[in-house]
Amino acid sequence: MRRPRSFTTRWPRAAGRYLAIGVAAVVVGYGGTALATSWTVSLNTGSSAQGQAPATPPPPATPTATCATGATVKVTWTAVTGAKTYTAYRGPSTTGPWTSIGTATAPTVTVTSGTLTAGTYYFAVTMTTNDAAWPTSVQSTASGSRTITGSTCA
Amino acid sequence: MVVGAGAYAATNWSVALNAGSKGQAQSASVANLTISAIAVPAAVNQAYPGGYGDAVLTIHNTSTAPVTITAVSLPTSTTYAPGYSNSTLTTATACTSSVTWRFSTTTSGSSHTLTTPLIVGANSTLTVTLINDITMATTAPVTCTSNYFKMPSLTAVTATAGAGTPTASPTTDGWTA
């Protein structure tokens, strides 16, 4: 018969110190059988971990460009936690040059029929965060291409 | 760490703190565990306003036995990160006052189960990146950019006996609720 027991120890906090953990455990056996053990381990107030903030927020994921009715292209991407607005861009290659095609709060922009002249287009997106003072994010990598021919999209 | 007997048997471990306090071991001893913030490896996900970021740390076990950590206990959601200052890291007070642990609650010591238990080998150090377990408020100022910040102290961890093969270092882990 196994009967684990556990409890929490409460060590005095050590102000100004960190990185330490106090441990206590009790193991109780009954009837000569093997035992299980569990600890709840208290930490000093200064136990540490760290994070880092970027110089520029990370890019949204690569958008997806799909053909809608006629020569309309719908550009969508995965929503980013913390994003306030997105700006989508089009370009003639995966490296641009880029031209803004719209700003939205939802992760989708539709380029309506007639906006795009004949040619091949790639799409990318940036985001702003809720704090307007922060810089605009890094631009995403480019979507796959869509080709506009007359009134059709492929 | 395991005692079995024909009658009731008990074993206690009391472990000293690194700060210098002492504990007593009645029939065995377990040395300190130590958690340290580190800058390398760098966080893969860095925190930005309204977003999440990674915390990178080491867990050092000076015991002669491995330890399996299954959960962490967090300070309250209103306990923010202190600034961090040493020879390599900078301090940005306005920034750190907007950073806390993700999924922390108003209750200090709220326990959060790790996605994967961490086994720290005897006399070993395990480097862990806690993925997206830092949250930065939407109001975080631009002074946060390019800065490090020290996270508030964890209040406890939960460990179990019966450790297996130590987790390979470095590793990633975290809690999702």
A56 part of a folded domain:
no
In a domain, A53, yes or no: no
Same domain, A73 and A38: no
Q: Residue A83 in contact with residue A129, Cβ under 8 Å?
A: yes
| Total domain count, chain A | 2
Distance from CA of B166 to the nearest CA of A (A): 18
Q: pLDDT at position B146, please? A: 86
Q: Report the alpha-carbon distance of residue B140 to residue B21 in Å, rounded.
A: 38
Q: Which residues of chain A have pLDDT under 50?
A: 1-36
Provide the strand spans (E) within A6-98.
21-22, 24-29, 38-43, 50-52, 64-67, 73-76, 83-91
φ/ψ (deg, to 5) at A140: -65, 165
Residue at A7 is within a domain: yes
Nearest CA in chain B to A131: B139
pLDDT tens column, B114-149 = 999 999 998 899 999 999 999 999 989 888 888 888
Same domain, A133 and A96: yes
Share of chain B above pLDDT 90, in %: 40
The reply to whether A43 and A68 lie within a common domain is: no
Q: Read off the pLDDT of residues B160-171 as tens digits, 9 standing for 90 and up.
A: 876 789 999 999
Residue-averaged pLDDT of chain B: 78
Q: Prior bond to B117 cis, omega within 30?
A: no
| CATH code, domain with A71 | 2.60.40.10
What does the pLDDT look like over B92-120, one tens digit per residue?
Answer: 777 888 899 999 999 988 999 999 999 99
Same domain as A119, residue A78: yes
Q: How far is CA B113 from CA A39, A52, B37, B98, in A?
A: 14, 23, 20, 24
The whole domain housing A104 covers 64-153
| Closest in B8, B130, B151 to A48, CB measured | B151
Q: Is residue A118 part of a domain?
A: yes
Residue B86: predicted pLDDT: 61
CA distance linking residue B47 with residue A52, whole number of Å: 6
pLDDT the model gives residue A50: 86
Q: How confident is residue B49, by pLDDT bands cut at 50, 70 and 90? A: very high
* CA dist., res. A131 & res. A105, Å (int): 14
Strand partners of residue A25? B13
